[in-house]
Every structure is written in C-alpha cells, then in structure tokens.
Structure 1
Amino acid sequence: MTNTKILISGASIAGPALAHWLTRYGYAVTVVERAPAPRPGGQAIDVRGPALDVAERMGILDALRAHSTGMRGMSVVDADGTEIYRTEERTVSGGDLDSPDVEILRDDLARIITDATSGDVEYLFGDSIAALEQDADEVRVVFESGLERTFDLVAGADGLHSNTRRLVFGPTERFIRHLGISMAVCTVPNFLGLDHWQVMHQMPDGGMRGAMVMSARDNTEARAYLMFDTPEPVDYDHRDVAGQKEIVARALAGDSWEMPRLVEYGRAATDFYFDSAAQIHLDSWSRGRVVLVGDAGYCGSPMSGQGTSMALIGAYVLAGELAAAGGDHRAAFAAYEKELRDYARANQEMAVVNLRERRAQSGEAEDASAAAEVLVETGVAEFAQVVASYSVKDYGPDHSIR
C-alpha cells in the first residue's frame, strides 16, 4: 500500500465523508478548513437513492433520519399572502414525501459526519492551503498559518469556489457555468408559525424573484431562501458578507408578501450564505497527486437537488478506488472518474433542463395557481429516474491496510 498520508481541503460534507472512508481503509487523514469551527447554517439538503446506501454503510443513516426536517408539505402564496397552491405530496426543497429520501439541515449532516470521524481524523480549523507543489513522490503544502507539511495526496472538497482547484487547475472562471439565478440562505425566526411546513412566494413581476421559508428544528426556527434572476454573474467579494446582504436587499426590494421582513431578517442573520446557482465542468477531476470531490469537481448547483448525494457518493467511490488500487493514485483517480462521470453529467443536465422547462412553462401558465404548480411539479418523474440510474459498488473490507 502506498500514498497513505492524505490532506483534504474542506470540512462540510464531501471532506469529512471522504475522511471517514479513508480512515476506515487505514489511511492517515488531515482535514483543513478555513472556517474557525464547523460552519453553522445552510440550506436543507437531501440524501437520496444510492447516497442512502452510502450513509447506511457509513453507519449514520439512523442519525440522519432522527434529524430529518420532517416536512409535511408546502404552500405557494401570492403577493397578499393568499394560498394559491398546496400539496402534501412533495416539497420544493425535498421532493416526494413518500420516498425513502432524507432531508436534513446541512449543518446537522456536517456535524454528524464530523463527529463520527473526530477520533480518527486530524482537523485543522481556521486555516487553508496557501500554496502547494507536487512532484512524482509527494505534495508539499504551505498553509496560510505558515505551517508547512508534506502529504502523499491532496483532495479538494472545498466546494463551488474551490481553493484547491484554483491552485492546481486554474481560475474558477474557466470551469464555472452560471445558471442565471442567485440565492441566499439564512436562519430566521419562525415568524410565520410554520409547523413542519414550507411556504414559497414568487414576486409578481415575473422571473424567479422570490423566497421560500421552511420551519426547522421542530419549528423553533426557520430557514429562508431568497432568490432572484441574474442573467449575468454577480460581481461580489465572497468574503464580504455585508456586501452580499445589500446585493440581496436591492434585488428583492418591494412590498410583495413578507419580502421586506425577510430582507431585514437576512441583514441580521449570522449564518447568511449567498452565491449564484452554478455548475463546475472539468475535463479531468485530477491532476497529478491532487483530486477533486463533490462540488469542487462536478457541482450540479442547488437546482439539481443532488449536490449532497453526489458528495457522499463521490467520497465513497474515491476512497474505495484508492483502497482497491492499493494506493496507486493514477489508477484510482482514473477509476473514480470513469465510475462517476456519466452520473455526474446526468445530474448536471437534469438541473439545466428542469430549470429551462420551469421558466418556459411558468411564462405560459394561464394564472398564478398554474404557474405555482409548474414550479413544484416540473421534472418530478425525470428527476427520480436520474437519481435511480446509478448503484454504488461494494468495495468491501478487504482493502483495509490495518
């Protein structure tokens, strides 16, 4: 077995999941995360289809189900707050409610996985990779803190704006494809008194401008999604949260429904997250001794509904292929990409097609009720078909180096 010392950049979902599997196979793993501690907040995310199998094999599926959002359904309201659409069959955030899929808050899932690995993995919070240099034998890493260390392999699990990808593959602009929507997510009071329910509103001037609010943590709080059309990418500083809040406030100005109150709650939120809905397309997910996993390598955007599932699946497959190849990173990285590229591409294409159909059909709808139904119902069958089109391999316990 070779290449047993591995650095992972990113401690959200893909990073700790990869660390879990690598340590199970006997690798020595360090995870570095820019944030000073596990990041709070974030949207409700979904573990679906083959990702449920991965979670079960990780031994965390029961914990995921115990922390499920438990949604009962959703409503769409007009500018006056009048309900124009209602369903108890699915939600816009989680899909079909009678499926075995698990919807869970992002920070809850991240905590579950991180806690499960804390005894075996070295976590370096409050730091990040400043530079790295690789040769045929190793990767020399300089951290922003000044720390210098050497690893056999480096995995970038640091999301859409991956620092690892930028350092090794080039600027994000080469690989990102914007889908024409920007979105903010934050925690707000459950000011609507929602009971395991979510409410969606589109502002009446057309497009995708509006919000969705869902109760969270047994109705003690809520998560708000604020979204608007951005035909061109928004120019902003990813670390300037106050500036991001003002971008959202300007884009959603107006008296429609509860939008003014939501904008103010967003301004006050301590876990405010803003970004454009975008995808990452790369010709290869690895370069030398550096490999990408999850959104860093093949982000499908929130419109795919598969980002978290792809992160869990990608981590499982990458670790499994490394173990199966005895640590031969060239063979493992090639096998990992061959195994998952078609599935990743299918999820990306589904997001683009469904978004295009939603826009087109909403514009052609006869009234607001019909337009609301289009937003919730479009692409349901096709989505389920794509999710179920992949089955995870069984790498088994035989590749452990312990």
Structure 2
Amino acid sequence: MQNVLVSGASVAGLTLAYWLRRNGFAVTVVERAPAVRPGGQAIDVRGVALDVLDRTGILAEARQVRTRMRGMAMLDAEGKELWRTTDHTYSSGRLDSEDIELLREDLAMLLHRQAVDAGVEFLFGDSVATLDEEADGVRVGFEQGPARTFGLVLGADGLHSKVRQLAFGPEERFIRHLGAYLTVFSTHNFLGLDNWQVWLNDDAATYCLYPVHDNTEMRATLGFRSEPIAYDHRDTEQQKALMTAGLEHVGWETPRLLEAMRQAPDFYFDSMAQIHMEQWSTGRVALAGDAGYCPSPLSGQGTSLALVGAYVLAAELGRADGDHAAAFARYETRMRPFVGLNQALADKNAGGAPSDEAMEEAKNGIALDA
C-alpha cells in the first residue's frame, strides 16, 4: 500500500485524504494548526461539487447545517440603508436551488470525521519544512516531528502553499493580485441580527455581517481595495493594523467591528488573489485546491473547486496502478478547463454578476466519472 502525505487539513486536503483512503492508499495529513481550523466565512457548494459531498456521505448533513438568511440590506459608508431584499439569490442561496451555503468550519468538521473514520493519520501542530525526492519516494522534513519518506506528496495547503514553494519556486511567480484585501472573524452578535445579512460598501472598502449559530454569534468579512502590499502573512498584528488603516475612514459600526477584530480568536487575513501555474505536478509532488489554482473569493467557487479537484486527483491516482506521472497528467487534462471557467468568474463578479450561462458552466463543467 503506497503511503501519501497530504499537506493541509482544509476542504481540499480533507477531501483528498478521504478519497485516497477509499482508493487504497495509506494517508497522512499534516496541518500547522493544532486542530481543524475553526472560523471562516460562509461558503457555497454548487453543481458537481454537491455530487462529491454526496459520494463522500455528508450531503444530507451539510444541508442540515446550511445557513438560512431571510434576506439582506445594503448600506452606504455612513450606515444609511440604500435597499433591502428577501430574494435569496443575494443572501444564502435560493431556497429552491440544490446549491447550499454553510460555514466553512462545519464543512471541514464533516470532512474530518469521514477521513478519521476511513483511517487517515493526522499530524496536527506541524508542517512541511523540506522536500527531497529520491528514487522511490520523497523524504519529507517536518518543522517539529522526525523526517519520513512518502511515495507521494500532495500540497493542499492554500494560497501560501509551502509545498508549492519547495517544489515549484517562490510564490510571486504564480500569484495574481486582484486589488483587495479581506479579513474574516467571529464576534458576538452585538447588532442583534436575526438571520439577516448586512452589507456596507463605499469606493474603497466593503464589509458583510451575518449571524451564525442560532443568531448567537456574528461572522464579519471586512475588506479594502489596494494595490499589492508587502506584509508577513504570519504576522497577525501587522495584518490587523493594515485592515484598520484600510477601514478607519468608514462610519457606522466600523470602530466597534475593528475593535472586535483585534480581539477575535479566529482572525484571518489575506489578499484577494489567484494562483496560475503551467503545471500542478513535478516528480512525485502535486497540488490541489488553492495551492494550485486558487480562484479567489470573488469567484464564489473556491470551495467547490477544491472539492472537485481533490476528488478527481484521488480518482486518477486510484486508477493509475502505481503510475503517478500518468495520474497527474490525466488530472491536469480533466481539471484545467474547469479551473479556467471558475477563475474567470472572479473577473465577471468584479464587474457585475456573471450570466446564468457562465455560472452554470462553471458549476458543472466537468464529469466526475470521466
């Protein structure tokens, strides 16, 4: 039984780990965080990605924990309401649609449970430090634990992938900045929102607020527009200062939100960006999800793309009879058109809502059983 290391325990990594086990591999997942990461924004699962959840055995549970917003209001920079709607197209997804919206943490917990039950080994509180490819495997050095050799190493470790850096080169070769930065965090529902979203927007900044966990908690996504900024993506205090500077001109509840951000236990900050690569594999190393082809939150398809990409990569490795090079090639052939459709949505969303035809193609433009 070939052993495989998956770096990253978010949606792509957990899906990949589960389906690799189902396809006969011994799987180890290494994750820098001490456990599956809490927090994160509400995410969408659409089209063919719903089939992945169904095959993974968690679609019914995912539907049970979907968000159920009644509607939303749009405010200007001073908090004046511009309009409101109860059309679910603008909030948590149409209730007459198969597509669902749920919290990232809820989906991750469901996937983690399935992976554990399937026999996946987890190394929390550690990360990949070195990769040295040998004749029959990859010698992996870890930041904390002892080095080990794996037959394959699969990077599902996000926009700032360490596996991508070690195997392919520096991040700046592959990242495409989309002109904005955002933060996501949790706080108590001090606005008293009752299954209702609030959006605020001006020329330089925007944010979205919505209640979760039976309206007891509020999830905030704040953002500001900017050219690329040099910052340390591990330095949270620097990131909080950047977000404060980007939003301090905005009125209404912004001061309270920024103070809540500074105290949040699950603070997340990053750029709106995409990853574009000519190849997603080299030797015995391959990438999945945001590590290889991040579409950015502007696409609305990052989670769906991660689910489908992980499933397809595991399926191709399972049918390759040990020929990982052939599996990686088929994975790229199948996924590249689908990735292109989904990354293109970011530009369409930035300029206005994409057409129904573009969204339908992006949601369903791949066959899982090809």
TM-score above 0.5, yes or no: yes
Q: 1:272 to 1:314 in 2, by over 3 A?
A: same
Check if 1:392 corresponds to 2:362: no
Q: 1:109 to 1:336 in 2, by over 3 A?
A: same
State the Cα deviation string for residues 364-386 of structure 1 (Å, max 9, x = none). Answer: xxxxxxxxxxxxxx225255223
Secondary structure of the 1:131 match is strand
The answer (yes or no) to whether the contact 1:44–1:93 under 8 Å persists in 2 is no
Aligned to 1:59: 57
> How far apart in 2 are the matches of 1:330 and 1:80?
56
Contiguous gaps of at least 5 residues in structure 1? 359-377, 396-402
Secondary structure of the 2:215 match is coil
- Map 1:198-209 onto structure 2 (within 5 A): 198-203=197-202, 206-207=203-204, 209=205
Q: 1:27 to 1:105 in 2, by over 3 A?
A: same
Amino acid corresponding to residue 188 of structure 2 in structure 1: P
The answer (yes or no) to whether the contact 1:41–1:271 under 8 Å persists in 2 is yes
Check if 1:354 corresponds to 2:353: no
> How far apart in 1 are the matches of 2:93 and 2:363?
14
TM superposition shift of 1:92: 4.8
Aligned to 2:148: 149
Secondary structure of the 1:218 match is coil
> How far apart in 1 are the matches of 2:44 and 2:327?
28
Which of 305, 308, 327 matches 1:313? 308
Aligned to 1:246: 241
Aligned to 2:218: 222
Secondary structure of the 1:109 match is helix
TM superposition shift of 1:91: 5.2
> How far apart in 2 are the matches of 1:164 and 1:66?
35
TM superposition shift of 1:110: 0.7
> How far apart in 2 are the matches of 1:97 and 1:86?
18
> How far apart in 1 are the matches of 2:44 and 2:333?
24
Check if 1:379 corresponds to 2:354: yes
> How far apart in 2 are the matches of 1:93 and 1:146?
44
The answer (yes or no) to whether the contact 2:21–2:27 under 8 Å persists in 1 is yes
State the Cα deviation string for residues 72-104 of structure 1 (Å, max 9, x = none). Answer: 221102244332122222355644443211111
> How far apart in 2 are the matches of 1:350 and 1:40?
27
Alignment TM-score, normalising by the size of structure 1: 0.88
- Map 1:126-275 onto structure 2 (within 5 A): 126-203=125-202, 206-207=203-204, 209-230=205-226, 232-275=227-270
> How far apart in 1 are the matches of 2:59 and 2:262?
35
Aligned to 1:74: 72
Amino acid corresponding to residue 6 of structure 1 in structure 2: V
> How far apart in 1 are the matches of 2:220 and 2:232?
22
> How far apart in 2 are the matches of 1:133 and 1:34?
20
> How far apart in 1 are the matches of 2:200 and 2:357?
24
The answer (yes or no) to whether the contact 1:53–1:392 under 8 Å persists in 2 is no
Amino acid corresponding to residue 122 of structure 2 in structure 1: Y
Amino acid corresponding to residue 284 of structure 2 in structure 1: R
Secondary structure of the 2:345 match is helix
The answer (yes or no) to whether the contact 2:71–2:91 under 8 Å persists in 1 is no
Question: Which 4+ residue blocks in structure 1 deviate beyond 6 angstroms?
Answer: none
Percent sequence identity is 55
Contiguous gaps of at least 5 residues in structure 2? none
Q: 1:259 to 1:382 in 2, by over 3 A?
A: farther
State the Cα deviation string for residues 173-215 of structure 1 (Å, max 9, x = none). Answer: 0000000011000002112211221100013xx24x0211011
Aligned to 1:398: none
Amino acid corresponding to residue 183 of structure 1 in structure 2: L
> How far apart in 1 are the matches of 2:316 and 2:366?
15
Secondary structure of the 2:230 match is coil
State the Cα deviation string for residues 283-335 of structure 1 (Å, max 9, x = none). Answer: 00100100000000000000011111011101110011111112310110000
Which of 15, 31, 34 matches 1:33? 31
Q: How many residues align?
A: 369
Which of 291, 300, 318 matches 1:296? 291
Check if 1:85 corresponds to 2:60: no
Amino acid corresponding to residue 288 of structure 1 in structure 2: G
Amino acid corresponding to residue 36 of structure 1 in structure 2: P
> How far apart in 2 are the matches of 1:281 and 1:62?
34
Amino acid corresponding to residue 84 of structure 1 in structure 2: L
Q: 1:93 to 1:321 in 2, by over 3 A?
A: farther
> How far apart in 2 are the matches of 1:294 and 1:93?
25
The answer (yes or no) to whether the contact 1:48–1:387 under 8 Å persists in 2 is no
Secondary structure of the 1:276 match is strand
The answer (yes or no) to whether the contact 1:74–1:91 under 8 Å persists in 2 is no
> How far apart in 1 are the matches of 2:128 and 2:178?
29
Q: 1:45 to 1:12 in 2, by over 3 A?
A: same
The answer (yes or no) to whether the contact 1:45–1:94 under 8 Å persists in 2 is no
> How far apart in 1 are the matches of 2:221 and 2:59?
26
TM superposition shift of 1:25: 1.3
Amino acid corresponding to residue 178 of structure 2 in structure 1: L
The answer (yes or no) to whether the contact 2:71–2:90 under 8 Å persists in 1 is no
> How far apart in 1 are the matches of 2:252 and 2:89?
20
